Structure 1
């Protein structure tokens, strides 16, 4: 009776953790790795139940157990690697499973001793977790949680490789039919209970951390455009300008504003206005470079900190954005009606603060508005006629 209760404690605990991971995935909206953690714990619980309830004298019991435990290992490994953006090497894991299964088949055919079977199966698990450890070892460990996951993978590798060998050597031959009465089975129950608990605590801690990061990032993101909001943009710009002061990096600030936006809201409604703002944000993000900083800093006003770029080049980038936005269509407004935007551009002067840089770019934007809109003004000089304006003037 005691063995029955002890044997069921671990799978019950695993099912509870599977339910917790599933609830976290459902409620917090985290990535698929959390769903993989839930499925992994469920597969582990089923494998343990198979080991505990099916007759160990039957060779099929070991193969079914190996299948469930291998599936649980692969799911946990995939989840940990997916969270870190690292490859899980699924083909390698499947190859290890196949080698372990073939080795198990040979051990079953040769002897009724459960010891070699257990050593071979656990060696397969050890190799799986070693693959995961190597894959994650090169990933940037930003927090204690990342390091804790790596430590857990290392402990799993060592445990699966060393414990079965030492226990089998200490106990000697273990007839398969008497496996559940062996010292090995008692030890593995206790070890798996501890591993189930500490692994779940680490992975749940990772989920909590990821949830906090998601909430924090959500507070910095403008929901309409998915760009940084003003507070987050200015904080990131402050860090970038501080670095550029020491490195001498050339940066320019572009401010864009949709022309006659109030009329858009008044004539076609706020939903049409929101679509125009979202479209502008998508266009700016698509046409900017990965290391440039973008943000929505007002109702219909956007800022771009263009890195490694002087004012003239930044003005050319802004002109391409201006032309692309003028060619954009918005079904909510009408296929034959186009919107335009005005741009102000200013290059940062040595040691200049963000507030001063913004003021000069903003003044250039107002000059673009006063000079007819749908144009670009530069903070250092009067505007030069641009593509469409020059053609129109020549005509």
Structure 2
């Protein structure tokens, strides 16, 4: 499982949380080897290493989950209690030789840490994906198995009494759960990669808005929803006036800054739920939901006025202008292309009338 996660890190984007999980299972290798050595050699030192490695492994797993969830990671919040537990393990095993304390302290702490990890995995603003559900389920099972170990340790009263239950849980349950947790973690990494690839297929890498394909997919849903609920929908096609001259005179870096700045201005101008996409070159498309043509034109007029005041690196001030063509959804429109045709005509009209203006399809 350590090798599988290392391969996932190397080939699935080198994400930080995957490296942390790889380290977690690498420490887990040390834990199982030390546990075997402690059992066969009856070595207290090896059992101390076993307990410490388990605490470190679980802490790294929890840290990796918080990293993936983009939650704040306070290393001291993990390191301080882990150090206290490790000291307690050393005292319980090294000084008192008390296996009951050993069997209770470690699983209790790890079980609670895994419950915290499962809670950190839960997304805040969306539903869980199937790989996340599997990972969540294994984390809960992992935690319950650890807590069951802690409970079973309380039945150890002599050299042999109660140890069979503890060892059965440890030898039968834990390896399966270790493997299941790691496999589900790899599936989460693969699922993240698939989601990243889907996002890259639908988004323009320069401006980070939808590309033509993503815009068409979003438009089909928006058109269907507008028809279903009988609500207005408007398409705006716009571009930067004189963009070719800007590229020729000031370089492509200036052109890229202009495109990114214009895209951000469009995103800030529309409401949540409206759609912004780059159709190609310096041409952008916007779908404004619950907006007729005049309402969409009013929004674009505000954008038009703000374009001239954009301050961007490598772009001379007061050189940017934009033209806009607006078309409302008509009953006979079947696809986005039907709206694009009219919005393009309106944009051509705006260019023909002197650029730097908003034109509505079909308007005088």
User: TM-score band (shorter)?
Assistant: 0.7 to 0.9
Provide the rounded CA distance (Å) in 1 between the counterparts of 2:69 and 2:232: 33
Name 2:29's counterpart in structure 1. 45
State the secondary structure of the residue aligned to 2:280. Answer: coil
Name 1:294's counterpart in structure 2. 276
Q: CA 1:150 to 1:103, structure 2 compared with 1: closer, same or farther past 3 Å?
A: same
Is the aligned partner of 1:147 residue 2:133?
yes
The residue correspondences of 1:194-233 to structure 2 (distance < 5 A) are 194-233=176-215
Deviates more, 1:368-377 or 1:92-101: 92-101
Is the aligned partner of 1:348 residue 2:329?
yes
Match of 1:120 among 84, 95, 105: 105
Kindly indicate whether the alpha-carbon contact (under 8 Å) linking 1:113 and 1:173 is maintained by their aligned counterparts in 2: no
Cα offsets for 1:261-299 (capped at 9, x unmatched):
333344444444344323322332343333221111121
Provide the rounded CA distance (Å) in 2 between the counterparts of 1:66 and 1:167: 14
Shift of the alpha carbon at 1:365? 1.1
State the secondary structure of the residue aligned to 2:323. Answer: strand
Match of 2:232 among 250, 261, 277: 250
Kindly indicate whether the alpha-carbon contact (under 8 Å) linking 2:324 and 2:359 is maintained by their aligned counterparts in 1: yes
Provide the rounded CA distance (Å) in 1 between the counterparts of 2:127 and 2:64: 16
Kindly indicate whether the alpha-carbon contact (under 8 Å) linking 1:259 and 1:341 is maintained by their aligned counterparts in 2: yes
Name 1:308's counterpart in structure 2. 290
Shift of the alpha carbon at 1:191? 4.2
Q: CA 1:268 to 1:138, structure 2 compared with 1: closer, same or farther past 3 Å?
A: closer
Deviates more, 1:256-265 or 1:128-137: 128-137
Structure 2: 5+ residue runs without aligned partners? Answer: none
State the secondary structure of the residue aligned to 1:297. Answer: strand
Name 2:346's counterpart in structure 1. 364
Shift of the alpha carbon at 1:94? 6.9
Cα offsets for 1:37-80 (capped at 9, x unmatched):
1122123333444445578654x765554443223213223433
Name 2:301's counterpart in structure 1. 319
Is the aligned partner of 1:70 residue 2:73?
no
Kindly indicate whether the alpha-carbon contact (under 8 Å) linking 2:69 and 2:123 is maintained by their aligned counterparts in 1: no
Is the aligned partner of 1:35 residue 2:19?
yes
Give the structure-2-normalised TM-score. 0.81
Cα offsets for 1:320-370 (capped at 9, x unmatched):
32222222355545x356121101123334574333322232222111111
Give the structure-1-normalised TM-score. 0.76
Kindly indicate whether the alpha-carbon contact (under 8 Å) linking 1:87 and 1:135 is maintained by their aligned counterparts in 2: no
Q: CA 1:110 to 1:75, structure 2 compared with 1: closer, same or farther past 3 Å?
A: closer
Provide the rounded CA distance (Å) in 1 between the counterparts of 2:19 and 2:134: 20
Kindly indicate whether the alpha-carbon contact (under 8 Å) linking 1:245 and 1:351 is maintained by their aligned counterparts in 2: no
Is the aligned partner of 1:338 residue 2:319?
yes
Provide the rounded CA distance (Å) in 1 between the counterparts of 2:76 and 2:220: 45
